[in-house]
Amino acid sequence: MDSMLFLTIVAAAAASLSAVAASVYTWLTFRLVRSQAEPNVIVYVRHDESRPSILQIVVENIGRGLASDLRFEASRPIPTHAWGTTEREIRPAKMMAEGPLIAGIPTLAPGDSRKISWGQYAGLEKALDGNAILLTCRYKHGAREVRPVVGTLEIKSFAGTDAVESEGRRIIKQLERIAESEEALLKLFDTVVRRVWPQVRA
């Protein structure tokens, strides 16, 4: 009788453990599937590819779901239009009063982003006075509030770095130089022809 009771307890414990394991597996599977379909918004600073001296604030959805009702809270006012690449060129920065970081973003599709021209290194260094700004982004996936993300707006990490132009921008510049050279050659050819044959008219 005691052995039967023991076996019954063991069987019940095994069944309970099996049920718990199945529940945990189901929960983890659900979390994995949901995370693959969720938005994932990140906030960062980078060089503008077409204008390398300018730094941008980028808000990007790198997830697979639609992010909605994006709202931003900064640890202090965000300077903007902080222009100047050297100490002499620095202009007084303004405080951001409009744009997506102030008004928010209604929706941000997967792979979509908002890019904000922030300023140039020397101008931003003076405007920030060595202090980074923490930018908290709150957003939703459907009706569910997603855990907030915090981005750091800073420029110290850009000190001594190269602002490299994109390949496309370099190609455009080369084509512009070729066009300018062709125009100069045509003018030179026209001048030579006029001197050699004065009777030639334009």
**What's the rounded Cα separation, in Å, for the pair 134 and 163?**
24
Domain borders along the chain are 1-36, 39-158, 166-202
CATH of 39-158, one of 3.30.70, 1.25.40, 1.10.3470, 2.60.40: 2.60.40
**Residue 124 · residue 55 · CB < 8 Å:** yes
**Residue 73 · residue 44 · CB < 8 Å:** no
The pLDDT, as a whole number, for residue 83 is 93
Query: pLDDT of 89-108, one tens digit each?
Result: 888 899 999 999 999 999 99
Residues 6+ apart with CB under 8 A from 127: 79, 82, 93, 119
Four-point Cα dihedral 32, 37, 43, 48, nearest 10: 130
**Tokens 């199945």, residue located:** 22
**Tokens 């202009």, residue located:** 91
Give, for all 202 residues of the chain, the pLDDT tens digit.
566 665 666 666 666 666 666 565 565 554 544 445 799 999 999 999 888 889 999 999 999 999 999 999 999 999 999 999 888 888 889 999 999 999 999 999 999 999 999 999 999 999 999 899 999 999 999 999 999 999 999 999 988 766 655 455 555 556 566 666 666 666 766 666 666 666 555 4
Query: pLDDT of 147-180, one tens digit each?
Result: 999 999 999 998 876 665 545 555 555 656 666 6
The pLDDT, as a whole number, for residue 174 is 60
**What's the rounded Cα separation, in Å, for the pair 57 and 52?**
14
Q: How many CB atoms lie within 10 A of CB 56?
A: 18
The pLDDT, as a whole number, for residue 26 is 60
Give percent above pLDDT 70 in the chain: 61
